[in-house]
Structure 1
Amino acid sequence: MAFLEIENLHKTFGTNTALHQFDMQIERGEFVTFLGPSGCGKTTVLRMIAGFETPTRGTIRIGGRDVTHVRTRQRNVGMVFQSYALFPNMTVAENIGFGLRVAGKSGDEIRRRVDEMLQLIKLPALTARYPWQLSGGQQQRVALARALAGKPEVLLLDEPLSALDAKIRISLREDIRTLQRELGITSIFVTHDQEEALSISDRIVVMNEGRIEQVGSPAQIYNFPRTRFVASFVGTLNILTGHVVDPATGRMAVDGQELITTRALASDDAGKKRLLALRPEAIVLEAPAPGRNTLAATVEDVNFLGSVVRIRARVNEAVLSLDVFNDPGRRLPERGQPVALGFSHDNLLVLEEGV
């Protein structure tokens, strides 16, 4: 039995359906990220787990206990908000200890726990400061300490880094992951940032229009997307339209050029159009070779991006991007030059949708 169980969760606001049949099982100590664009339902799920929203139907269990209709304060969850939500008239220590005071803990216990939290977030010298005297990153650390002070069973983080600049975001997300591992707390992180999701998650739940598109490890989500939405939302992607030539051997045709994919195709797919996906970093400029896919193309553009050079090449109606590392000794192709694009059979993905 999973530690956090979400079954058939559904949520409507008037005539608008925000969430459709959401099912998820999360193990104790797991770090799961809900990833998707604004309005996809990820924060709605988080708020229902926290108890801020009531499901239209469905069940939420924590540690085997049904908490679907239990008050927020009785669920033993900690929440970190995007806006920090610190009390401006309270010091750092008072903000961290607020939930403990509400729970009726003694003064000595509160002081000990606040000191522990300040050490944990590496801000022991700022105990007497007020939120307006802190940087954005420091405020978010205090919000995190406040959420952890009551020793919650589940930690919920609702886009906690989106208001911070890029450098602080990277540092703080690494700190959050380190703390989560150290404490072993079951955590759910909501974000629309694919890099955040890929860098810190045990598993990622990709959501779109109130539904789960795919669940998997960061490597599975990036390398083996099942749908066009997942493939295009997570990373840069080339999309091709192919015709199934022989389902049994995975043979496809793109612009009259034969390709092979390792994905098994249904026998009745013969002659059908299917969407094919290919990551830019999977393509190399090379002569045709046995055991490799090759597409004849014409270079449209070459863009120098520092450590990487992005080349755009046309294959009939499709334009493919490929990335090569910057090498001063490498001779790059020129616009209008014919080239051969090589890639392995494993890197050519057949998406679930038809055309």
Structure 2
Amino acid sequence: MSFLELADIRKTFGAAAVVKDFSLPVERGEFVTFLGPSGCGKTTVLRMIAGFETPSAGAIRIAGADVTHLRANRRAVGMVFQAYALFPNMTVERNIGFGLKVAGRPAAEISRRVTEMLELIKLPQLGRRYPHQLSGGQQQRVSLARALAPNPQILLLDEPLSALDARIRVALREEIRSLQRRLGVTTIFVTHDQEEALSVSDRIVVMNEGAIEQVGTPSDIYSRPKTRFVASFVGTLNMFEGRVVDPARGAIRLGETTIFAAAPIENAKAGDARTIALRPEALRCGPGGGGNVLSAVVEDMSFLGSVVRIKALFGEQPFHIDTFNAGGVAPPRPGATVEIGFAREDVIVLDRP
């Protein structure tokens, strides 16, 4: 049995269903990310796990116990919010110890635990400061420590990094992942940032319009998207419309060119329309490495530091090729006709056109 189980969860506000038939098992110690655009229902699911919202249907179980209608303060769940939510009139120490004090823990235990948490978040000298005397990153560390202080069974993170600048965001997400691994706490992380999701997660749940589009490891979600939505939302993809030639051989016709996928095309017959997706980094100027070749005309180039992005045209279809900036190797010039090679394994055939 899974440590956290969401079974056929549904949430409606009036006539509008914001979460639809959401089922997900989460193992103890797992780091799971809900990824999707604003308004897709990911925070609503998080709030139902926390006990701030009650499902309209379905069940929530933690360690085998049904907590669907249990109050939030009885779920042993810690939550970190986007806006820090620190008490401005309390010091860092008092903020971290607040939950323990409300739970009636002895003063000596609270003091010891607060000291442990300050060491854990690497702010041992700042316990006497107030929130306004801290940077945004420091405040979010304190929020994290406050959520962890009572030893919650589950840690919930609701877009905790979105208010921070890019450099601090990267550093703090690495710290959060490191702490989670060290403590082994089951964690649900909500974000709309695909890079965050890919970098920290054991599994990613991609959501759209209140429903799950795909669940998988970061590698699965990035390399093997199952729907057009996942393919377009996670990473950069070139998409082409084609026709199945021979599903058993993985053969698909793009314009006048036939390409091959690495596996048979499931649930398809000759003549069926399919969308083909190719990652820019999987393409290279020149044939070879798998046998698939497209003839294209270079239209433009963008220098992105370590990467050169080439914009090309396959017929009238624009697409991008990412190549490493290898010193001294000049990319093809605009107007040049080039062969673009890619392997069968790099061909993503989406389930629906």
Distance 2:210 2:268 in 1: 31
Aligned 8 A contact 1:301 1:335 in 2: yes
Please tell me the residue identity of whatever aligns with 1:148: L
CA positional deviation for 1:291: 4.1
Query: Residue 292 in 1 paired to residue 291 in 2?
Result: yes
**Pair 1:134–1:199, CA change in 2 (3 A):** same
Q: Identical aligned pairs, as a percentage? A: 62
Structure 2 matches for 1:81-92, cutoff 5 A? 81-92=81-92
Aligned 8 A contact 2:161 2:169 in 1: yes
Aligned 8 A contact 1:33 1:188 in 2: yes
CA positional deviation for 1:232: 1.2
Per-residue Cα deviation, 1:39-58 (whole angstroms, up to 9, x for no partner): 01100000000000010001
Please tell me the residue identity of whatever aligns with 2:249: T
CA positional deviation for 1:202: 0.4
Query: Residue 38 in 1 paired to residue 67 in 2?
Result: no
Structure 2 matches for 1:133-282, cutoff 5 A? 133-266=133-266, 268-282=268-282
Instruction: Please identify runs of 4+ aligned residues in structure 1 that moved more than 4 A.
Output: none
Structure 2 matches for 1:13-52, cutoff 5 A? 13-52=13-52
**Pair 1:290–1:98, CA change in 2 (3 A):** closer
Aligned 8 A contact 1:248 1:267 in 2: no
Distance 2:266 2:85 in 1: 52
CA positional deviation for 1:269: 2.1
Query: Residue 53 in 1 paired to residue 38 in 2?
Result: no
Distance 2:330 2:86 in 1: 56
CA positional deviation for 1:267: 6.3
Distance 2:262 2:31 in 1: 31
Classify the secondary structure of the residue corresponding to 1:269: coil
Distance 2:331 2:115 in 1: 58
**Pair 1:267–1:21, CA change in 2 (3 A):** closer
Structure 1: segments with no counterpart, 5+ residues:
none
Aligned 8 A contact 1:35 1:207 in 2: yes
Distance 2:173 2:336 in 1: 44
Name the structure 2 match of 1:11: 11
Please tell me the residue identity of whatever aligns with 2:323: V
CA positional deviation for 1:290: 7.8
Classify the secondary structure of the residue corresponding to 1:188: strand
When the two structures are superposed, what TM-score results if normalisation uses the length of structure 2?
A: 0.98
Distance 1:107 1:69 in 2: 32
Name the structure 2 match of 1:102: 102
Please tell me the residue identity of whatever aligns with 1:315: F
Distance 2:313 2:37 in 1: 30
Please tell me the residue identity of whatever aligns with 2:276: L
Per-residue Cα deviation, 1:216-272 (whole angstroms, up to 9, x for no partner): 000111011111111111111000011101111111110110100123224652101
**Pair 1:290–1:342, CA change in 2 (3 A):** closer
Aligned 8 A contact 1:263 1:350 in 2: no
Query: Residue 303 in 1 paired to residue 306 in 2?
Result: no
Classify the secondary structure of the residue corresponding to 1:232: helix
CA positional deviation for 1:334: 1.2
Aligned 8 A contact 1:263 1:349 in 2: no
Distance 1:119 1:227 in 2: 44
Name the structure 1 match of 2:123: 123
CA positional deviation for 1:38: 0.2
Pairs aligned (count): 353
Please tell me the residue identity of whatever aligns with 1:301: D
Classify the secondary structure of the residue corresponding to 2:305: coil
Please tell me the residue identity of whatever aligns with 1:337: A
Between stretches 64-73 and 326-335, larger displacement belongs to 326-335
Please tell me the residue identity of whatever aligns with 1:238: N
Please tell me the residue identity of whatever aligns with 1:152: P
Please tell me the residue identity of whatever aligns with 2:340: L
RMSD: 1.0
Aligned 8 A contact 2:289 2:341 in 1: no
Distance 1:155 1:268 in 2: 43
Aligned 8 A contact 1:3 1:64 in 2: yes
**Pair 1:84–1:326, CA change in 2 (3 A):** same
When the two structures are superposed, what TM-score results if normalisation uses the length of structure 1?
A: 0.98
Please tell me the residue identity of whatever aligns with 2:116: E
**Pair 1:223–1:268, CA change in 2 (3 A):** closer
Distance 2:290 2:107 in 1: 71
**Pair 1:126–1:268, CA change in 2 (3 A):** closer
CA positional deviation for 1:16: 1.3
CA positional deviation for 1:125: 0.6
Distance 1:159 1:290 in 2: 41
Aligned 8 A contact 2:277 2:349 in 1: yes
Distance 1:318 1:211 in 2: 31
Distance 2:277 2:268 in 1: 21
Name the structure 1 match of 2:318: 319
Aligned 8 A contact 1:244 1:269 in 2: yes
Classify the secondary structure of the residue corresponding to 2:84: coil
